[in-house]
Chains A and B, each alone.
Chain A
């Protein structure tokens, strides 16, 4: 299948490109940008006049719920949601049931994702066996089965000796370690950022120190183990400062932020809004400003959806009893572009944060429209505004904090490996 995407504005931070041009796709790869390759005959043309043509999005954290929680969502349902959101590659944390700590589970997930024929799915391997934080997972076997990184997901590694050894071992397997930085004891069963709102609502609080203490510990261990550490979904201003300092000292660390923490604050929890029950929690406006600033200046490399689809019952209870997480994968791009439209983020930085940067962190060939790259492409009408409605979302999880929001950036086509998987 040869496809010509005509007349769009091609935005590809990896190649430093931002110009009006045609994109030529052949044999599942980008054949050319601008000038037609000799003898190129398109089987299909997509008119992108007035639209933006971007590399397919790379999402560093999306839960698909299968295996283990198929009543919430399935690999098939969420891969369809992902491509509707322009996501052409995504990372799948290992806190499934069974846990992704054996090659068999990796293969099962990759096989089902291939069968869905939508987005590319990368299962992340467990850092510790059963994510119990006690002994090492078979990281080498996981790597051979196709895991690009290891992580304990949201499960704590309270024993610092275990974390040290796990990081050392991951480093010798040349696997990056994805860390959800949270001190389990300091979190102490909390459900909302500690401050005026938690006090007023009487909800068990999570101090910012639950994150900053964990970031500090991990940075010290990264220094002595040589592990490449990626910090997932930072939420606190102070964490960002710690990361900036470590990078300045030359430590090979990277970081991402979840889209919800860029667009919402703890004030959105008022009224016990269970769709705003997230982990890491929404924090203050000052934290949000620091996260946005860090994203703009590159201290935070990437933005992820932190997609967590839930069934209705999971969110229908008193706040503390609801499950954390929001269904976000379809809104990652328009919510991030909102920050471009209002002047918070430069366009190239925003696009890089969901394409090139996460691809680099994973070490995959994606996130660019350079000649020869896999033809993972998104065509988006950046100006087209629409109202978010939970019932219209493709994800099986309708748990969105953004219902009723007016957003701009409608995806018209998504291509994975030169095949149109979304749009007509």
Chain B
């Protein structure tokens, strides 16, 4: 609904990757299937495929990030692209340059793709509307709106453990109100027909009328986790305690923190996920984060393959899977 027109070309193929909302099952499965072919790349002696050779990818980060930026950088480099990292939060933006001027300057350097992270919802959408027709935009997280590559790598991880997504109950726990990851996951899981998507948290962290996105809301964690197959814990930002949303980390952990004991109400084979970076003892107990049900580190390594797939797809560099494997 939000960006459907702009992220697809006339033939309905991905041109930009801005949100999971409005994408079809076919779009999502195409990315997931293509990503499978890149998983092996990291294990080779030469960790590169030549799909984006001669292309320039700019990581345009208006918000500080280490993890996401690094995986995008690695993904682009493994596709043989030239990569430019721009941490705009510490450069031109502070000199008063407008977002539009920053974009025009970079375009004049003939870049082919922007990976954008920005604190404002809709920023990637805005940028996609501004750039020249040949330039591609990937949303690396915009405000509270969307983080679609994270959602796809989470789906990829889920599918590796539980191939039949339509049979799954998934609980997303924590600060849903401020989470772009949660929103992108909800759209993607519903598109793939997940049996049930739940959001779990105190009323202060569940946004208004989220039921309209196709989720069930739980304020009690034991009820919310009962019989689920997948648990996605969200990071709790410390500043939520400074506003009037939560009294303390201690009380939050007591009410919503994921412990071994709480995990017992979920399905015995439930997996535990977290987009990172994790706050041990705030939203998740170390015993769970490092436990056998946790797939948190797999998420990170899958992130590179999934981002490679998305970059290659939107640059139109789709080649038969065999070519990527040779």
A317 contacts B183, CB within 8 Å? no
A318 contacts B144, CB within 8 Å? no
Q: Which residues of the partner chain A approach B120 to less than 8 Å between Cβ atoms? A: 318-321
Q: In residues 9-64 of chain B, which contact A (Cβ within 8 Å)?
A: 21
Min CB distance B127 to A, Å, is 8
B121 contacts A318, CB within 8 Å? yes
A201 contacts B208, CB within 8 Å? no
Q: Which residues of the partner chain A approach B248 to less than 8 Å between Cβ atoms? A: none
The answer for the CA separation of A200 and B122 in the assembled complex, in Å, is 11
Q: In residues 187-235 of chain A, which contact B (Cβ within 8 Å)?
A: 194-196, 198-205, 207
A254-272 vs B, Cβ < 8 Å mask (1 yes, 0 no):
0000000000000000111
B123 contacts A196, CB within 8 Å? no
A319 contacts B122, CB within 8 Å? yes
B207 contacts A199, CB within 8 Å? yes
Q: In residues 102-129 of chain B, which contact A (Cβ within 8 Å)?
A: 118, 120-123, 125-126
Q: What is the interface residue range for chain A against chain B?
A: 20 to 34
A202 contacts B98, CB within 8 Å? no
B121 contacts A203, CB within 8 Å? yes
Min CB distance A128 to B, Å, is 27
Specify which of A205, A270, A320 is in contact with B208 (CB 8 Å cutoff). Answer: A205
B223 close to A (CB within 8 Å): no
A313 close to B (CB within 8 Å): yes
B118 contacts A318, CB within 8 Å? yes
Specify which of A196, A201, A203, A205 is in contact with B212 (CB 8 Å cutoff). Answer: A196
A200 contacts B208, CB within 8 Å? no
A316 close to B (CB within 8 Å): yes
Min CB distance B130 to A, Å, is 8
A199 contacts B143, CB within 8 Å? no
The answer for the CA separation of A202 and B187 in the assembled complex, in Å, is 13
The answer for the CA separation of A321 and B143 in the assembled complex, in Å, is 12
The answer for the CA separation of A198 and B1 in the assembled complex, in Å, is 13
B3 close to A (CB within 8 Å): yes
Min CB distance A285 to B, Å, is 14
Specify which of A200, A207, A319 is in contact with B1 (CB 8 Å cutoff). Answer: A200
Nearest-neighbor residue (CB-CB) of A317 within chain B:
B99
B145 close to A (CB within 8 Å): yes
A272 contacts B99, CB within 8 Å? no
Q: Which residues of the partner chain A approach B125 to less than 8 Å between Cβ atoms? A: 271-272
B317 close to A (CB within 8 Å): no
Specify which of B118, B123, B146, B207 is in contact with A198 (CB 8 Å cutoff). Answer: B207
B3 contacts A271, CB within 8 Å? yes
B209 contacts A272, CB within 8 Å? no
B2 contacts A313, CB within 8 Å? no
Q: Which residues of the partner chain B approach A196 to less than 8 Å between Cβ atoms? A: 208-210, 212-213
Q: Which residues of the partner chain A approach B212 to less than 8 Å between Cβ atoms? A: 196, 199-200
Nearest-neighbor residue (CB-CB) of A198 within chain B:
B208
Q: Which residues of the partner chain B approach A318 to less than 8 Å between Cβ atoms? A: 99, 118, 120-123, 126, 142-143
Binding site for A on B (CB under 8 A): 1-3, 21, 98-100, 118, 120-123, 125-126, 142-146, 180, 183, 207-210, 212-213
Not counting A200-B1, A271-B2, a sample of 13 additional A-B residue pairs whose C-beta atoms are within 8 angstroms of each other reads A195-B209, A199-B183, A199-B212, A272-B2, A272-B121, A313-B98, A318-B118, A318-B120, A318-B122, A318-B123, A318-B142, A318-B143, A319-B120
A-B contact pairs, 25 of them (CB 8 A): A194-B208, A195-B208, A196-B208, A198-B208, A199-B183, A199-B212, A200-B2, A200-B21, A200-B213, A201-B2, A201-B145, A202-B122, A202-B143, A202-B145, A204-B144, A205-B207, A270-B1, A271-B3, A272-B121, A313-B100, A317-B100, A318-B121, A318-B122, A319-B122, A319-B126
